[in-house]
Amino acid sequence: MNRIEHSFYKVMIEYEWKKDTDMYKEISKLIMYGDLDEACILSKLADIFKRFENEETSNAQLTQEIYTEIKRILVVATDYGFDKNLWHNYLTFLLITNENPFSITCEKVGANDGSVNAFAKNDFQVFMNLFHYGFKPIEAALGINCFSILSDYKSIGKKELMYNKNVSEKVQALSEKLELAQNEEEFFACVTDFYKAYGVGMFGLNKAFRITNDSQGEVVFNPINNMDKVMLDDLVGYEIQKKKLIDNTEAFVQGRKANNALLFGDSGTGKSTSIKAIVNEYYDQGLRMIEIYKHQFKDLSNVIAKIKNRNYKFIIYMDDLSFEEFEIEYKFLKAVIEGGVETKPDNILIYATSNRRHLIKETWNDRSDMESSNGLHRSDTIEEKLSLVNRFGCQINYSKPSQKEYFNIVIHLARKNHLNMTDEELCAEANKWELSHGGISGRTAQQFINHCMGAVEA
């Protein structure tokens, strides 16, 4: 390369670099999406590029900092099973998890005409620029190629239980659409259509959640990534019970009046499975589930406050609900379900399972109507305990199956799992199994099939 060509090449590189490194200034133009955490990957990279342009930091230090952010992008990609262009996937993930007045409004009513759209389109132009950001100049200057690898990444295949496939597929599908957007109008349409169809933030992407408390005691929602994919058809028998649950849930998701539901009865009969299946069946219609444990009932009011204005229907799920005599957590539950000053929002129902019909353990002393030492009628004690179960307007009994029903469950599960045994062999072995494994139930049937499949694989 002669001197003139070298000078021309240098000028072009500096022009490209100047054109692309102004992106940190673009980020400062964000309005609706401008609440980026300083510790987020995008903010960190913007700061790195700014310091590079201003020659404030050595190239070695900048390279090390870039590699740190690359690793963080790879962690996000691994957690969500991203593939191909990880930079685009990351930016898309930011867009669909950013809860701001614009995105939450779009979740509820779509992209209606309004002045706020101008601010949103301004932000989407910034994101379009970030989508087409040119990393080559900084790679050339620092002698790295990590951004080029990210733009054409081939991930290692892994089992679905290791990441949230539902989130992964949605992010990658939207990312590919945004790559092809010709202007901010098309970009705007793609993003707002997504908000309307799936929502925004963690509630838009995930089916189910557990709660924890942060260091300040605030409620934090944690997605359940490996939720069982069971559907109602997988639960053999219990057709009357399933229909009651379906009817109540359909009324709920369609905006009609519905009741809190209590599924009670023998253990292993499919109570919890039915509720998980309901969430899987109606997820596409905006149904979400929040699992809460007994010791967390004190947080119920805070949980409800955080979800009551969202455009989803929430089932607050309480598994294996029961209380001993000395436990008073049920009083929190009573107040929330019905009887408190604030009306329970229309987008929230409570579904609980229990092996006890009346939820709270009774004693023989409760049965006598003689006055107790503190002057109260014991019948009043019973009435107080029963008042909790009476707050569940939909009560469904799951009783232990008959032996014939048990055999039907076993045969159905065996055929579903392609187990090569005759019906007679299955019934004979299943009969032996239940005698030493907790008696007849759907759970026992599933455990028997697991045993048979394990023996075959061995």
Q: Are residues 171 and 285 in the same domain?
A: no
Q: What pLDDT does 300 receive?
A: 87
Q: Are residues 298 and 171 in the same domain?
A: no
Q: Is residue 212 domain-resident?
A: no
Regarding whether 452 and 366 lie in a shared domain, the answer is: no
Average confidence (pLDDT) over 355-378: 54
Is the model's pLDDT at 72 over the cut of 90?
Answer: yes
What is residue 10's predicted lDDT score, i.e. its pLDDT?
43
| pLDDT at residue 382 in the model | 54
Q: Are residues 375 and 243 in the same domain?
A: yes
Q: What is the mean pLDDT of the chain?
A: 83
Residue 376 has pLDDT above 70, yes or no: no
pLDDT of residue 11: 42
CA-closest candidate to residue 306, choices 198, 213, 192, 224:
213
CA distance 277 to 299: 26
Judge whether residue 77 has pLDDT over 80. yes
> In the chain, pLDDT over 90 holds for what percent of residues?
41
- 340 with 390, same domain: the answer is yes
Position 271 pLDDT exceeds 50: yes
257 and 354 co-located in one domain: yes
Which of 204, 232, 263 marks a domain boundary?
Answer: 204
Regarding whether 284 and 244 lie in a shared domain, the answer is yes
The residue out of 172, 204, 236 marking a domain boundary is: 204
pLDDT value for 235: 85
Instruction: Identify whether residues 392 and 422 lie together within a single domain.
Output: no
| 317 in a structural domain | yes
Domain-embedded: residue 215: no
Domain count, the chain: 3
d(CA 253, CA 286): 7
- Rounded CA gap, 278 and 249, in Å? 8
Contacts of 369 (CB under 8 A, 6+ apart): 377, 378, 379
Mean per-residue pLDDT, 419-439:
88
Length of the chain equals 458
Q: Is 16 inside any structural domain?
A: yes
Full strand arrangement of the beta sheet holding 219-223: 219-223, 208-213, 287-291, 313-318, 348-354, 261-265, 394-398
More confident residue, 73 or 233: 73
Residue ranges making up the domain that contains 353: 221-398
pLDDT tens digits for 302-351? Answer: 899 889 888 899 999 998 887 666 566 666 677 677 655 556 788 999 99
Residue 209 lies in a domain: no
Q: Is residue 216 part of a domain?
A: no
Give the amino acid at 395. Answer: Q
Residue 47 forms part of a structural domain: yes
Amino acid, res. 35: D
Q: What is the pLDDT averaged over residues 161-180? A: 82
Q: The domain spanning residue 343 has which CATH number?
A: 3.40.50.300
Task: For residue 214, tell me if it sits in a domain.
Answer: no
CB 30 within 8 A of CB 36: yes
CB of 48 closer than 8 Å to CB of 63: no
pLDDT band for position 17 (cuts 50, 70, 90): very low
Shared-domain flag, residues 99 and 180: yes
- Are 358 and 436 in the same domain? no
From CA 362, how far away is CA 114, in angstroms rounded? 59
In whole angstroms, give the CA distance from residue 294 to residue 297.
Answer: 6
User: What's the one-letter identity of residue 320?
Assistant: D
Q: Is the pLDDT of residue 52 over 80?
A: yes
Examine the domain organization and report whether 159 and 263 are in the same domain. no
The continuous run of DSSP H or E covering 87 comes out as: helix 86-97
What would the pLDDT profile of 132-161 be if each residue is shown by its tens digit?
Answer: 998 988 899 999 999 999 999 987 766 654
Q: Which residues contact 38 (CB under 8 A, 6 or more apart)?
A: none
Q: Which residue has the higher pLDDT, 190 or 323?
A: 190
72 plus 149 within the same structural domain = yes
Check if the beta carbon of residue 450 is closer than 8 Å to that of residue 457.
no
What pLDDT is recorded for position 257? 93
Out of 25-39, 115-129, 353-367, which region has the weakest mean confidence (pLDDT)?
353-367
Boundary (domain end) residue, out of 164, 179, 204: 204
